[in-house]
Amino acid sequence: MREIIRPTILMCPPDYYGIEYEINPWMNRDTPSDSARSMQQWQTLHDLLRELNVKICLMDPVKGLPDLVFTANAGLVWKNKIFLATFRHPARQGETPIDNAWFTANGFETITLPVGLNFEGAGDALFCGDTLYGGYLVRSDASSIQWLGSELNCRAIPLQLVDDRFYHLDTCFCPLDATSAIYFPHAFDDYARRALQQIPLLIEVNEKEAARFACNAVVVGRHVVLNEGCPLLEASLSKHGFIPHSTPLDEFLKAGGSAKCLTLRLDGEEAAT
């Protein structure tokens, strides 16, 4: 297994990012992205992470795959393995061979889920402590989360998502460390909300800031990088000893993404034990 000293994140430049189809409520081909602003916002996020001592690995963008920029969906990284995404929508299925090639070339063992299981990577599978929480219904399947739990020999809890705006788990839930997380409760059904209550510290995000994708944040130690326009969450994070860093990511909200979606941690999330 490779020794990785610095926090390491995979990103993909938004050279070909755009709203070319509509597969979630945020996407509207009549509201196109601004290419220059998209690149500027992506670069600012990239540079901010570098300032936090993150090593950035880059995947080459591919024309015709505008959502390849959202590397979080490539798969679930576990040590030197990656469980590759099996996308529900045909528009994104072309990303998987590209992801597979990158991870293979960079020394990872690539694993594909059984045929028939939909799974959208770290967008729907997040560790908090030794528990794997998995969002399901909109994009990924509950059975995919259960299968991953069996393969990883860990407790896995599928969480049903009930608001199509929050179509991936990482749009409404973000583990901060092994015992704390932020979440938007109304994105989940009753059972999921009860299941999340086992996390000792749950910081609730209100609907206005949830719609800014406040929960779609990148955690680096005690630093939390998130979209601008979430002052209440920033205050809550500071109160609990975290250091928030806001950066504009409105161009990516047009596709239903933000900071977390644009990154994939390669050396293990801060919240995993």
Q: How does pLDDT run across 80-121, given as a tens digit for each residue?
A: 999 999 999 999 999 999 999 999 999 999 999 999 999 999
Residue 196's nearest CA partner among 215, 212, 213, 183 is 183
**pTM greater than the 0.85 cutoff:** yes
Catalytic residue among 12, 46, 128, 168: 168
- The CA distance from 51 to 57, in Å, is 15
In this structure, is residue 110 part of a structural domain?
yes
Domain that holds residue 96: 8-265
pLDDT value for 186: 98
pLDDT value for 145: 98
- Reported for 265-269, long-range contacts at CB under 8 A and 24+ positions apart, including other chains, are 265/7, 265/8, 265/9, 265/10, 265/77, 265/122, 266/4, 266/8, 266/9, 266/10, 266/57, 266/77, 267/4, 267/6, 267/7, 267/8, 268/77, 268/79, 269/126, 269/127, 269/175, 269/219
Any residues with CB less than 8 A from the CB of 79 and at least 6 apart, and which?
1, 268
In this structure, is residue 208 part of a structural domain?
yes
In this structure, is residue 70 part of a structural domain?
yes
- β strands within the chain, DSSP E: 8-11, 55-58, 75-78, 81-84, 109-112, 125-128, 131-136, 155-160, 173-177, 180-183, 201-204, 218-220, 223-227, 243-247, 264-265
Q: What confidence tier does 1 reach under pLDDT thresholds 50, 70, 90? A: very low
In this structure, is residue 130 part of a structural domain?
yes
pLDDT value for 4: 47
Q: Mean pLDDT across the stretch 7-24?
A: 98
Q: How does pLDDT run across 52-74, given as a tens digit for each residue?
A: 999 999 999 999 999 999 999 99
In this structure, is residue 45 part of a structural domain?
yes
Q: What confidence tier does 2 reach under pLDDT thresholds 50, 70, 90? A: very low
In this structure, is residue 273 part of a structural domain?
no
Q: How many domains does the chain have?
A: 1
In this structure, is residue 3 part of a structural domain?
no
pLDDT value for 273: 79
Domain harbouring 70, CATH code: 3.75.10.10
- The CA distance from 103 to 84, in Å, is 10
Q: What confidence tier does 270 reach under pLDDT thresholds 50, 70, 90? A: confident
**Phi–psi pair at 14, nearest 5 degrees:** -90, 40
Length of the chain as a residue count: 273
pLDDT of 3 above 90: no
Could you confirm whether 261 is annotated as catalytic?
Answer: yes
pLDDT of 261 above 90: yes
Burial classification of residue 182, based on how many CB atoms lie within 10 Å of its CB (0-12 exposed, 13-18 middle, 19 or more buried) = buried
**Phi–psi pair at 30, nearest 5 degrees:** -80, -5
Residue whose tokens read 């000293």: 5
Which amino acid appears at position 85 of this protein? A
Q: How does pLDDT run across 210-251, given as a tens digit for each residue?
A: 999 999 999 999 999 999 999 999 999 999 999 999 999 999
In this structure, is residue 243 part of a structural domain?
yes
Beta bridge partners of 78: 81
Q: How does pLDDT run across 160-211, given as a tens digit for each residue?
A: 999 999 999 999 999 999 999 999 999 999 999 999 999 999 999 999 999 9
